[in-house]
Structure 1
Amino acid sequence: MGERYVFCDIDGTLLYAGGGAGRTAFGAAFEEAYGVPVDMAHINFAGATDIRVMQQLLREQGLAEEPIKTARFFELLPQHLDRSMALHPPTVFSGAPEFLERVSSRGWTLGLVTGNIRSCAYLKLKHGGIDHYFSDIGGFGDDDGDRNRMAALALERAGNPKGSYLLGDTPSDIEAAKVNGMISVAVCNGSFSRAALEAEQPDMVVDSFENAAHLFEALGV
């Protein structure tokens, strides 16, 4: 039997980046790369991807995307995020480390499907103290602006394993799982209510990692 994969979203699923660390970093990197200050308060990151958020900011500022400046933005973003998170570490949701330990120690490989660019994804996990549970397999916000294609890339990089799970806290995560033939698990840690997530008809809903006995049973852990 080949490797078995559980893919996870990060923000709102495994942890909460409090203190505005992500917004602060994004705004600072954008201003440094494009030379224009931006207000990040109205940006909704739930289910979003870093590429799409950057493109939204460009539209709002009436700016055309410039490849050199965009490359510079993505180079600067993890630097600013690292500094911001050193001041405002993320809050890892209760039960998440125990879940990751249990799953990764019992035959499952953990991967990521996240709107964060790869470098920022692992920075967030590192600042949360949970990066060591994860492989380098995943789909990221610098791969594509579309979460469905990000999930497809994650599967491709994993060798297209059957029976993979995708855990997330938004309707976008559920859709990405369904489109790619993955088992969708909605985790009610984020901004969407249980009712809103259930309306998307995921394969499974868990209120939290502390109340996930049915998920453990499904995974055989």
Structure 2
Amino acid sequence: MVIGWHPIRTTCQGDDMKTIDGLPLTEAILKAAIATFSERGYDTASMDEVAARASTTKRTVYAHFGNKEGLFRSALGRAVELVRSELPTLDDLTDPAGELTAFAIGFSDISTWRNPVRLQRVVIGGAGQFSDLGAMLHREVIEQAESTVAAYLQRLDASRGGGGDEQHHRRLAGYFLNLTTARQRFATLFGAREPIPDHPHRVAPPDTDHATIREAVGLFLRGSGLDG
């Protein structure tokens, strides 16, 4: 799925309002809200603009989400779901270097794509007002990615007759994610480099970080004893 915005038209089908392209109206509002909040920030985003982008009325937006904060929280939750749906999987135990490299590249690309970067900046900017949302982003994206890596490392270790408890592999997963992706994620978030402009699954991003990621994966596997 692509988090973004294009003009949305609605039509009534029975008792359910849907967009011309088949999106339920609630989903169309969330899609419009994600784009509006990411572009404008929380304070300057308007419910009128969200309604216009979703081809509905402000009254309908309020009826679905209660108020601006409710819409913002729902939009952010939906954006997190979409980002998580884009994350790579880890399956192949026969080529851990290749598998982990592909995962790190995929995670790096989606994390440094313009739309998620903008939303992260909005959340950081509103930390005083919405103190729980930063923790939610970390839990639902970073910690979920770590869980995916940890489960793979545990399976890899077991396939070679190794041991190690869940917490051991969870710590390794944290080291892995930071070693392979933290530099580019933070540089993009803080504006030291430009975010990827197009969805990385739609337009192939530049391979700027690929060599560094491959090197980092090799360092991780050797350092963790999982290279053999």
Task: State the TM-score, normalized to the length of structure 2.
Answer: 0.30
Question: Where is the strand percentage greater, Structure 1 or Structure 2?
Answer: 1
Say which one has the larger Rg: 2
Question: Where is the helix percentage greater, Structure 1 or Structure 2?
Answer: 2
Question: Which has the bigger relative contact order, CA under 8 A and spacing at least 6?
Answer: 1
Task: State the TM-score, normalized to the length of structure 1.
Answer: 0.30
